[in-house]
Structure 1
Amino acid sequence: MAPAKRLAYAADFKLRAIGHAVEHGNRAAARKFNINESMVRNWRKQEYDLRQVKQTKQSFRGNKARWPQLEDKVEQWVIEQRAAGCSVSTFSIRLKAAAVARDMDINDFGGGPSWCFRFMKRRRLSIRTTTAISQQLPNDYGEKLAIFRTYCRNKIAEKKIRPEHITNMDEVPLTFDFPVDRTVERPGTSSASVRSTWNEKSSFTVVLGCQANGQKLPPMVIFKEKTLPKEKFPAGVVIKANTKGWMDEDKMSDWLTEVYVKRPDGFLHKSPSLLICDSMRAHLTDTVKTQMKQTNSELVIIPGGFTKELQPLDIGVNRAFKVKLRAAWEHWMTDGEHSFTRTGRQRRASYATICQWIVDAWAKVSISSVVRAFTRAGLIAGQLTDSTETDSDDDERDAGMLDAEIAQLLNSDTEDEDFDGFVEEG
């Protein structure tokens, strides 16, 4: 005999049955709606949830927590963090849940994005955020895009420049704190302040470089100090300092000497090369142009306001790097060892710790992400793609991060620079 088909009822139907049961009793409601009395009793327990969902929703199956005690502890942690003004992201929730699972000897707890989504739904938690305003491109941007791409392709074809000699460099402005304007919070809360180490305005710069074959150059970090911090820094990163913590002519020269020239097959300057930069003034000085000529390299400047369309690092690499860097900071904020000032403020991470985060985050950005970014920029003949194409690479989309937040992070500080034209030899 075939098993009876299990029926699903819409929320509207269940609420009508509940209303009849309140007035006439569970048994009467079961007879009127031709259902089992036990169903009416269960629905009455779910009345609050039923009134919160769409009236066409037909089931709450799968909404029961497998580890309710674990979720109780994680929920309590979220409440405590928010009471202290700390930012709570879905990533930090997953980290905390994994730690609680270890303490409770739960070995089969995955704690993935889907679990976090269900946990927040069960505990009525949501994400508070603001709307990011995107940049408006000029009316003739399509023509300028085509001109720039054609210029690059012609140079590449003319000098027979191989992918491993096509480099993009960009400065990424960062702060010692990475709080965001969003946090997990209960609906209806009047405010959603976020606690940090009070170093959101203490800035520094990370200079990233990558090549069209996916090769990543060592990052250079410029701290806002008169002299180099006296700490033991990790290998794989170049440390610099100046009073502004930003790229200037001297630091651009340092990057060319200590990073660009030392790239694979770059020291002897035998192969013609292409360096693509934005229109920041530090990239356009006579000193930089002279150094570029000495390295058998062409310097190509992206028009101001077009980095989101033409700069590979902005298109598909910086985002992946920042996601991983924020994950390291959140892990440190959640589980790291901290010290405090006499006034009770938490001290920021050390220079060396931050540099280790940078090295690790940069190493985790995949080769495929870099190659795809150059492809999407349309700088290589025959590989032009729609720049609005959705990138599905897992490196660039952490399940605990949302697009609005990442878009906020990628605002460039060099977009307002004037475009002085492409840099030619001679």
Structure 2
Amino acid sequence: MTRKRLTNGQKLQIVRDCEQRLANNESLRSIARSYGVQGKQIRQWRDKQSLLAATKSTKKSTSSGAKGRLQEYEDEIMTWAFHQREAGVPMTYKHLVVKAGQVWPEFRKLTDGQQYHTVRRLCQRKKFAVRRIIRNSSSSSSSSQTDHPNEIVSEVEGWLAVMRPIVRAPDVQQKFVLNMDHTQMFLSMYPHPSLNLQGERTGNGRRTTDSGSRFTVTCTVSANGDKLKPHLIFKGERNGRIATQELPTNPYREQVALCCQNKAWQDGINMADYVDKVLVPYLQEKANGVPCLLLMINDTSARWTDDVKERLEQIGITPYKIPPGCTCLVHPLAVGIWKPFKDQVRSKWWQWMIDQGADKSTFVSASRELRTKWVCESWEAITQVTIRNAWRKPGFSYFPQEE
């Protein structure tokens, strides 16, 4: 007979059917044979009906299983976790991993996978699940509506039909086919999902004093896999103390271009700074007459001033704007680079938070020097293969897919 494991709900159903069939003078052996089980098993299930009914019907055993590694410390860990959630502090499995390592040092010797699964099983037993954090606000805001990618396929195909011959022209070198974009990096990268009791649909999350503060990172890549120097914009007066005293002494100032703006936005002046500090040094080896193409988002804001356009023309760059709503399909940085880059930065922030300890009641921001270091290291970790494959998806690059 083939071995099988039934859930507690299935066992209870077999017991109920068995009682009805026994009342109709059927033998226990024939009933057991029809279900593919032994008669002895049905008798055991019949004796344990109350236990089976009290246990979750989807489980396959009434046993609670092996004792968890954290059994001696789980009350202390979960009490701390509940207090953190009551205070509105976002919680993740990583927070509990750090706390477990504090109360039981031997826990740190386990592998990352063992730590994660141990904490995850603890949360399951304590009915602690991941929930989305909500923000209480007196005013409701609606997000901008964007077209679904399937609805803009025809527009994308039309734009690519024009751009591919330009990018693949015989006189165009892939080294000088560039793609640039900027993204916001927040100072406090606390998680939006948080652990919370099962049954509670959402949970409140505490905001820190600088949780909405950010800095802007502008990155540029070429079709042959080159990475240009990142351009960072911090919040501050353009000619204030941060810009004139702190940034010039930043130990990573040679690896990135640094500047300030009142709201840490990319504006016309900083765009001109980006052209002078990032594009000009990269194009120094470009021979006269060699075309240089710059693919960018179709942005009509004030950052594209006449001065910026004139500077691009002076250094021989022809800008091409990507149609709005198409970035997810044809924008190399958005297609395959921003995600791994931001994951790298967040990973470094997490490690920094872990080093501070799990008992912090508030999330603090890292220094500008440390954030610059994270950007430099994360940008360095993006491989040439990743960049080439990001260009390959919209069909701009000659390179085959690489692993």
- Which category of TM-score, normalised to the shorter sequence, fits these structures? 0.7 to 0.9
2:90 alignment partner AA: S
Q: CA deviation at 1:191?
A: 4.8
Match of residue 178 from structure 2: 167
Match of residue 311 from structure 1: 331
1:370 alignment partner AA: I
Match of residue 204 from structure 1: 215
Do the aligned partners of 1:70 and 1:100 also contact (CA within 8 Å) in 2?
no
Match of residue 297 from structure 2: 278
2:218 alignment partner AA: V
Do the aligned partners of 1:153 and 1:381 also contact (CA within 8 Å) in 2?
no
Q: CA deviation at 1:8?
A: 1.3
1:4-403 paired onto structure 2 within 5 Å: 7-15=4-12, 34-35=40-41, 50-51=56-57, 53=58, 58=60, 64=66, 67-69=69-71, 72=74, 75-94=78-97, 99-100=101-102, 103-104=105-106, 107-111=109-113, 117-129=120-132, 135-137=146-148, 141-158=152-169, 160-189=171-200, 191-226=202-237, 227=240, 229=242, 230-231=245-246, 232-235=249-252, 236-263=255-282, 266-270=283-287, 271-280=290-299, 281-282=301-302, 284-336=304-356, 347-380=364-397
Match of residue 422 from structure 1: none
Q: Which runs of 5+ in 2 are unaligned?
A: 18-37, 135-142
Q: Deviations over 1:280-318 (max 9, x none)?
A: 235643322322233332211111222222211112211
1:10 alignment partner AA: T
Do the aligned partners of 1:63 and 1:122 also contact (CA within 8 Å) in 2?
no
Question: Structure 2: how far apart are the matches of 1:307 and 1:60?
Answer: 53
Q: Deviations over 1:74-114 (max 9, x none)?
A: 545533432332212344445555x4598226534333665
| 3-state SS, counterpart of residue 308 of structure 1 | helix
Q: CA deviation at 1:46?
A: 7.6
Q: CA deviation at 1:184?
A: 1.6
Match of residue 139 from structure 2: none
Q: CA, structure 1 residues 379+43, in 2 after alignment: closer, same or farther (shift >3 Å)? A: farther
2:88 alignment partner AA: G
Q: CA deviation at 1:127?
A: 1.4
1:9 alignment partner AA: L
**TM-score computed with the length of structure 1 as normaliser:** 0.70
Do the aligned partners of 1:89 and 1:183 also contact (CA within 8 Å) in 2?
yes
Q: CA deviation at 1:272?
A: 3.0
| 3-state SS, counterpart of residue 325 of structure 2 | coil
| 3-state SS, counterpart of residue 104 of structure 1 | helix
Question: Structure 2: how far apart are the matches of 1:237 and 1:42?
Answer: 69
Do the aligned partners of 1:325 and 1:357 also contact (CA within 8 Å) in 2?
yes
Identity %: 22
Q: CA, structure 1 residues 127+62, in 2 after alignment: closer, same or farther (shift >3 Å)? A: same
Question: Structure 1: how far apart are the matches of 2:156 and 2:10?
Answer: 56
2:349 alignment partner AA: W
Q: Deviations over 1:236-256 (max 9, x none)?
A: 222110123111111111111
Q: CA deviation at 1:134?
A: 7.3
Question: Structure 2: how far apart are the matches of 1:136 and 1:48?
Answer: 50
Q: CA deviation at 1:156?
A: 2.0
Q: Which runs of 5+ in 1 are unaligned?
A: 21-31, 386-392, 394-426
Q: CA, structure 1 residues 382+204, in 2 after alignment: closer, same or farther (shift >3 Å)? A: closer
Question: Structure 2: how far apart are the matches of 1:251 and 1:156?
Answer: 27
| 3-state SS, counterpart of residue 331 of structure 1 | helix
How many residues of Structure 1 are paired with residues of Structure 2 in the alignment? Answer: 363
